[in-house]
Chain A
Amino acid sequence: MNADSRYFAGLDMGSVSVKALILQNDRVAASGLTPAGGNYKAAAAKVMEEVLARAGIASDDLSGMVVTGLGAQSAPWDAPQLSDISCHARGCHALFPSARTIIDIGGQFTKAARITPQGSIADFLMSEKCATGSGRFLQVISRILHIPIEEIGPLSLQAQHPVEFSTNCAVFAESETISRIAEGARPADILAGVHRAMAAKVKMLVKRVKLEADVVLTGGGGEDAGLVQAVGQALGLTILVPENPRLTAAFGAACLAAEHKRT
């Protein structure tokens, strides 16, 4: 580490992908992500190498770094570790200073947090051990419908008669989806139904932390326009979404690394 440089790194080792971001003088110099696969260490090394090259610096040029995410303990660097909820909160606060509630829909869990005007956590909740409340549900449906996950959002917005799922369980929803396909339901309507089911779960979570506007939806779920719309409709308000929602925690981690340096 170079104590005098102005480069700070954030590394978010999530269940689906590992994300890295470099801040230079509070501006994003480079970012990237790679699938976590079964080897967190290798994925982290790979994505860091890529973003450092893109920023045109070496790891020794970094002045600070914060690691977050479920796989943080596997990080191949001796850097401070913070919870991903805190990093999302910090990232959302930097991007949307008016944000008071954040929703992170990740591959493993969905989290809802109420944050202070200063960007720290006031209260938070995580989804239960249930795939319906996480991005895993979308992955399951994507596989059944043979639709790439990045196409789910745009397609679901074309729905005309969203399917009502009679279950809140991703496992049962899988068999229900197959039944609906057999009945001739359109993929767009099935996907919109999935989004509604997820939005209902998110709404329960957000209500428990006491919804306060503005609301930011971050994490991989933020890249799904259909899900964002469904959550907005369920909560009855407009949802703010970062430009690169999957990178918000890495961005927040880099911001926190810079803050730690300053203090």
Chain B
Amino acid sequence: MEATQQVKTTAVKGTETAREVRALVKNIYKSAHEAKANGRKVAYMMVASHYDEILRAMDIVPLPTENYAGLCAAKRDMDRFLHKAEADGYSQVLCSYARIGLGFDSLRKELGRIPDNSPDGGMPLPDMMIGSSAVCDPRFKWYQATSRYLEVPTFAIDVVAPPPQADLNQVRDHYIAYQRAQFQGLIDFLEMQTGKQMDPERLWEAIRLGDRAWQLWYDIDRLRVAVPSPMPSQDHFSIMVAGHYYSGTQTAVDFYQKLYDEVKHKAENKIGVTAEEKYRILYGGGLPPWHTLWIFNYFESFGAVFAIENVYRGFDPVQVPSHVQDPVDYLAWRAFLRATRYHDQARTRSGSPAVEKLLGLIADYAIDGVVFHACRSCRATTIGQTHIKSELGKHCDLPMMQLVSDMVDLRDYSEAQWKAQIGAFMDALAARARRA
């Protein structure tokens, strides 16, 4: 393993279907280049903002800039973009996804062309940029900053969720009305940019495909309760591409159906990720270390498999009331229900929806230990992690470990430190097994 670590960043996948994701990723950028050549509109966009189906229904080709940052890291070709952004004055404590995106756009402006040998051909110039407040603040501000390099229209949508303590019956109507207005604002913006009207039937069709794909994704994760684990977290970090970057398309539905069939077969036939599954690990939170995904195989060399994770499939399926007949109303309702899925449960126990979700995963997936990844430049997924870990410790007695680096900036990673920590974590898992 040692000899390959310096050049290999990716992990060996557990499923065959996950190996098909690379083609899906390449197609994101290829489709965007083709769309530009054919006069179709391309939009920089932020995933997990509940508006994917609107873009699909409006024939706008999505170009997810965060994904491009992860791709650069997996290719270990991020430094030139990070350095460029930092040379332009963006601090190293700012989101490294954003720094890669800003650095790429800055370099392209300076060169007058896509930087040479950019991963997967680079990103074409977008026709518009659609930011979002969902998940974190850089996603709202990033494209405003990008306006320094690109003169294209920008829209930033607000995505809201009530706090866990809120009386949902009291705030529901207000939140849904506000969210609907935000979606309508985006539709108005897109209609202005494209000169076309939104077709409600096409939006319903995109929603149907989006919901079907996410339902299948949820069903796949439920199959993963099987022992031994039929699909590890490193596969999840690949297969999330369909759910987030192809949401609202038949491609995502077909992909997840195929993956579902494979995982079901593995679960039913007890085909596990490793020959001997000694420990089942929960990836408790934090963005994955895209620069060093082989670390999951390193855990497996000790018989530790990441059985499930708390990242990317951020929403469980929800049931929007049948009286909702308008597709934009539906999107607003769905966003509200997704965001408040664990609120009632949180009020009765820990007070934290995140802790409740983790406790549910620990019980359902027969978890032996929890690993968190603190990313220095990702405040959204890192702030609160120590608190969540501490709160979790009040309700379960499992070894837990927090690894620290960054999602894409390799300067925050130390292999020696990680291996030392992982060694101690394995000892703690073994000690717990002996006690049991």
Co-complex (A, B)? yes
Report the bound CA distance from A116 to B399 in whole Å: 12
A82 close to B (CB within 8 Å): yes
A125 close to B (CB within 8 Å): yes
**What's the minimum C-beta distance from B292 to chain A, rounded to whole angstroms?**
14
A111: B residues at CB distance < 8 A = 424
Report the bound CA distance from A130 to B417 in whole Å: 11
Report the bound CA distance from A62 to B326 in whole Å: 78
Which segment, of A20-28, A41-49, A83-91, A143-151, faces chain B? Answer: A83-91
Which segment, of B78-86, B132-140, B355-363, B425-433, faces chain A? Answer: B425-433
- A116, A120, A126: which contacts B421 (Cβ < 8 A)? A126
- B386, B399, B404: which contacts A208 (Cβ < 8 A)? B386
**Chain B, 411-436, CB within 8 A of any chain A CB:** 412, 414, 416-417, 420-421, 423-428, 431-432, 434-435
A70 close to B (CB within 8 Å): yes
B414: A residues at CB distance < 8 A = 129
Is B420's CB under 8 angstroms from A86's CB? no
Encoded as 1 (CB less than 8 Å from any B CB) or 0, chain A from 171 to 215 comes to 000000000000000000000000000000000000010100000
Tell me what chain A mostly uses at the interface: helix, strand, loop, or mixed.
mixed
Report the bound CA distance from A47 to B434 in whole Å: 33
Q: Which of B402, B404, B414, B431 has the most CB of A within 10 A?
A: B431
B400 close to A (CB within 8 Å): yes
**Chain A, 76-131, CB within 8 A of any chain B CB:** 81-86, 108-109, 111, 113, 116, 118, 120-126, 128-129
Report the bound CA distance from A81 to B400 in whole Å: 21
- A83, A120, A128: which contacts B420 (Cβ < 8 A)? A83
**What's the minimum C-beta distance from A109 to chain B, rounded to whole angstroms?**
7
Report the bound CA distance from A73 to B420 in whole Å: 11
**What's the minimum C-beta distance from B379 to chain A, rounded to whole angstroms?**
16
Report the bound CA distance from A109 to B393 in whole Å: 25
Q: Say yes or no: A85-B412 contact (C-beta < 8 A), given A109-B417, A121-B399.
A: no
Is B386's CB under 8 angstroms from A82's CB? no
Is B427's CB under 8 angstroms from A83's CB? yes
- B393, B402, B423, B425: which contacts A82 (Cβ < 8 A)? B423
- B386, B417, B431: which contacts A121 (Cβ < 8 A)? B431
Is B417's CB under 8 angstroms from A126's CB? yes
Is B424's CB under 8 angstroms from A70's CB? no
**What's the minimum C-beta distance from B170 to chain A, rounded to whole angstroms?**
37
Is B416's CB under 8 angstroms from A70's CB? yes
**What's the minimum C-beta distance from A68 to chain B, rounded to whole angstroms?**
9
Report the bound CA distance from A120 to B433 in whole Å: 11
- Count of A residues near B, CB < 8 Å? 25
- Count of B residues near A, CB < 8 Å? 25
Report the bound CA distance from A118 to B416 in whole Å: 28
**What's the minimum C-beta distance from A112 to chain B, rounded to whole angstroms?**
11
Is B428's CB under 8 angstroms from A122's CB? yes
Report the bound CA distance from A109 to B423 in whole Å: 15
Report the bound CA distance from A125 to B431 in whole Å: 17
A124: B residues at CB distance < 8 A = 401, 421, 424-425, 428
**What's the minimum C-beta distance from A43 to chain B, rounded to whole angstroms?**
17
Of all chain A residues, which has the CB nearest B426? A83
Tell me what chain B mostly uses at the interface: helix, strand, loop, or mixed.
helix
Report the bound CA distance from A111 to B412 in whole Å: 19
B417: A residues at CB distance < 8 A = 109, 126, 129
A129: B residues at CB distance < 8 A = 404, 412, 414, 417
B434: A residues at CB distance < 8 A = 120
B404: A residues at CB distance < 8 A = 128-129
Q: Say yes or no: A85-B424 contact (C-beta < 8 A), given A116-B431, A121-B431.
A: yes
Report the bound CA distance from A83 to B427 in whole Å: 7
Is A121's CB under 8 angstroms from B428's CB? yes
**What's the minimum C-beta distance from B398 to chain A, rounded to whole angstroms?**
10
Is B427's CB under 8 angstroms from A85's CB? yes
Is B420's CB under 8 angstroms from A125's CB? no
Is B420's CB under 8 angstroms from A123's CB? no
**What's the minimum C-beta distance from A91 to chain B, rounded to whole angstroms?**
13
Is A70's CB under 8 angstroms from B420's CB? yes
A81: B residues at CB distance < 8 A = 423
Chain A residues packing against B (C-beta within 8 Å)? 70, 73, 81-86, 108-109, 111, 113, 116, 118, 120-126, 128-129, 208, 210
A–B pairs, 30, beta carbons within 8 Å: A70-B420, A73-B2, A82-B423, A83-B423, A83-B426, A84-B424, A85-B420, A85-B424, A86-B423, A86-B424, A86-B428, A108-B416, A109-B420, A113-B424, A116-B431, A118-B435, A120-B427, A120-B428, A120-B434, A121-B399, A122-B428, A123-B393, A123-B400, A123-B428, A126-B420, A126-B421, A128-B404, A129-B414, A208-B386, A210-B390
Q: 10 more A-B contacts (CB under 8 A) besides A124-B421, A126-B421?
A: A81-B423, A82-B423, A83-B426, A109-B417, A120-B427, A121-B399, A124-B401, A124-B428, A129-B404, A208-B390
**3 nearest A-B residue pairs (beta carbon):** A120-B431, A83-B423, A85-B424
